[in-house]
Chains A and B, each alone.
Chain A
Amino acid sequence: MENSPRSKHVLSVRGIKKSFGGVKVLHGVDLNATAGRVVALLGENGAGKSTLVKIISGDYEPDAGEITIGSQTFSKLSPISAADLGIRMIYQEINDAGTLSVAENIFLGRLVSKNGFVQWRKMRQEAKRILEELEVDIDINARTSSLRVGERQVIEIARALSDSASLLVLDEPTAALSGDEVDRLFEFIDRLREKGTAMIYITHRLDELRRVADDVVVLRDGNLVLQGNAKEIDRSELVEAMVGSKIDDGGRPAQNKRNLNDEPVISMCDLSTLGAFENVNLSVFPGEVVALYGKVGSGISEVAEAAFGLQRASSGELKIQGKAPAKSPREAISKGVGLLPADRKREAAFLGLSSGKNLVAPFWSGVLGGTLWVNAKKERASFEKWREALRIRVSPSGAEQSISLLSGGNQQKVLLARWLNAGSQVLVLLEPTRGVDVGARQEIYSVIRELANSGVGILISTSDYEEVVQVADRAVVMSGGRMTRNLAYDEVSVLALTDASGG
């Protein structure tokens, strides 16, 4: 607005550097947030967005650089001092107390009270005033869990704003929202902008940018690579800044020749599941790696899970190896289908148990033989075999060592070996290299390719386009629960994927 740049900046960080265990994540980054403006922070996964924001919120201590808030300059913040200075964070997951009322949630942690008693009337009035001021129509007495996700997010923002916030940081706030909830959130952000709140908006969706942001800052591999006015920079410039040299697709695998007489191992015909995905058409042939690519919430993981029998279809046809799909994981496994879940710690690994036990786990289910006694010798032999084949790096006590002591990449190899050992002919892999370091990632890709060469049909659901380019024969792109593109071998490229997934 006026041209006194220094005073407009609510927050200004200069030359921020940060590394974790020798890995440099930020190489000297600058960022300004201005009253009444939204600055979008753009970048791919691992670009350093979250690290930068956690330094601003006081969760991480920077190795170098300074943070200026108003007129004060700091070399680091603590979560408490950042909060005292008016910095408020909104994360993508909802962080409220669902069983309490809206009013209580707005004042969570600092209920309006006197002598230890809650002053309900005063608190409700205050809550009502805040929501009215934000021009949202939500019943303050409603149980919070009964509201829609978008409304709960607004309440979180209301909580953040109810006590003198000077800067609001929104971390991918639309990840869990539906289309019209996104529109409502954007209107809400517009109102906050008019009231003069400074905002940092983190996203990797280009389509949101023009609608919501005034300024844009792009990070790539910990460097600031582009900065400017959100309305003036064009899309291709942004994509190039975000993906950089990765835009030339050097790493395509050799195409697998598929036998035209083969039956598909997975075939979906107009498959729909209410609330998850619609009219998906897809087939995976033996010896083929097919990628399902899309952003979080695009429906890719639900489609992949359907192939393992975890999602019941509401209409359409699904065939696994030419037959009706399994109704339970047990049945799927007995038919030779293996699933590598997306969340390693929560859904796949038995963290308290040894690597060897983790590897042979499907054999305990009784559907793959081994019904009474454990065969410890065979267990160790299996582990040894796959340890060598997949280059799983463990200390000499290998099979006996708890899997929780392995690195992410090695854990993932053990969990992948689980299905190789079980001889699965159809593999469904969800985000197979999430949280895996670069070296192990390449090794996992070559294992996946070798498997395909040996005739296994593989479906990968991933939100990492580089993964698609490096490992898949074909790709199906989804956005908002629908297929947006079907890419043949020659058509798979970073640009095509990014474009079809909506940013």
Chain B
Amino acid sequence: MNNIEQGVVPAIKDEVTVALPASSKGPRRQLPEALALIIVLGAMIIFFTVTSPVFFTANNMLNMLTSIAVIGIMAVPGTILLVAGQVDLSVASAAAMCGMVTATLAENLGLGTAIFVGLAVGLLVGVINGFLVTVVGVNSLIVTLGGLATFFGIGQLIGGGQTVLVQGFRFLGTSRPFLNIPMPVIIFVLALIAGFIVLKYTVFGRQVYAIGANPVAARLVGIPSHRVIFIAFALSGMAAALAGLILVSQLGAASPNNARGYELLVVTAIVLGGASLSGGRGTIIGTFLGLMIIQVLGTGLTLLNVQSFWQNVATGVLLIIAVSSDRLRERFSSTG
């Protein structure tokens, strides 16, 4: 019976669509995703403001932005990738590995050179991921899942599993160069603006949406899909390195365990922000709202003295809610 249904359901849709004149279908609006996110975020902020006196203060707001900055920097190219129908799960371990590289080299080569090498390693990671996905043709989930384990292991090898202390590396993590705003927040905001402009106003951004929306059609209108995906992975690798260096600077030490599990938060934020796992949809504004929802939930629960274990549970549940709503959106907004 199953096979009968499979063969027939799309055909029914087809015929009905053709038979109906366009006007009788009426304008079927997509759910206003950003609005729904703003409402959720607003409700959470109101709730925590009422329940905790220190929540809605300028200081706490800045703290929240600072603690989400590292994840946010990785989520910007992550959004570009997911819109193109790709995913990078290796960002967190790549960040830790790049941090280890820089910390280990800092003593002998000097901080400047060490930072440069750390960023170059990040770029290399992106290039390898991009090569495997586009030229070799392996699914990005598998490639970067392998990368997740590999880079974590390399990070451990570099320091013999130990934490490496770094002296005098403060400007990326804890300096406040402008209006007393922490450096990571400044970098985060710049990354958001850059990502927003790239996705919305550049030809590259359009190519990203086109590849995610329909890879076959993208090829047939001449879009260089491989080049676009390759560049997006390279950006993701560099962002991971930058995030890793910020963490090292903030903690004054590099550990292979830095950023552990952040890939989950990155993907959660992006999907929560309305990006579709099947590609073709997603925005930087959505991702920003997704990041803030995660952070507000985390901070709020801390202020309410909820055990930190529960915060992990909350993040996981959030991811599942985000993916479920992605599927539901797809079902409601699909016309063919």
Contacts and interface: CB of A to CB of B under 8 A. Distances in A.
Interface of A: 20-23, 50-51, 54, 57, 59-60, 79-80, 83, 89, 91, 93, 95, 108-109, 328-330, 332-334, 339, 341, 345-353, 357, 361-368, 370-374, 393, 395, 401-402, 404-408, 410, 418, 435-437
Given A89-B4, A365-B221, A20 B16 contact: yes
Interface residues of B, number: 50
Main secondary structure of the interface of B (DSSP, over half): helix
Contacts of B53: none
B1 A350 contact: no
Contacts of A91: 7
29 contacts: A20-B15, A21-B20, A51-B15, A57-B4, A57-B8, A60-B12, A79-B4, A329-B220, A330-B222, A345-B336, A346-B216, A349-B214, A350-B213, A350-B217, A350-B280, A351-B335, A357-B206, A364-B221, A366-B203, A366-B224, A367-B222, A368-B222, A371-B203, A404-B334, A404-B335, A405-B335, A407-B20, A407-B25, A437-B19
Interface in B32-69: none
A374 B336 contact: no
Given A351-B213, A407-B18, 4 more contacts: A21-B16, A346-B214, A350-B210, A437-B18
Contacts of A357: 206, 209
Contacts of A347: 214, 216-217, 220
Contacts of B202: 372-374
B22 A330 contact: no
B8 A364 contact: no
Contact of B217 (A59, A349, A363, A406): A349
A373 B201 contact: yes
Contact of A365 (B4, B7, B222): B222
Contacts of B331: none
A402 B222 contact: no
Contacts of B16: 20-21
Contacts of A346: 214, 216-217
Nearest to B204: A372
B220 A351 contact: no
A395 B27 contact: yes
Contacts of A330: 222, 224
Contacts of B14: 435
A109 B218 CA distance: 37
B213 A352 contact: yes
A109 B1 contact: yes
Nearest to A50: B11
Given A20-B16, A23-B19, A347-B216, A418 B4 contact: no
A165 B10 CA distance: 25
A22 B21 CA distance: 10
Contact of A333 (B17, B28, B204, B222): B222
B231 interface: no
A407 B22 contact: yes
Contacts of A405: 22, 25, 27-28, 335
A188 to B, nearest CB: 20
Given A57-B8, A350-B213, A364-B203, A79 B223 contact: no
B206 A374 contact: yes
B12 to A, nearest CB: 7
A60 B214 CA distance: 31
A437 B19 CA distance: 7
A337 to B, nearest CB: 10
A404 B336 contact: yes
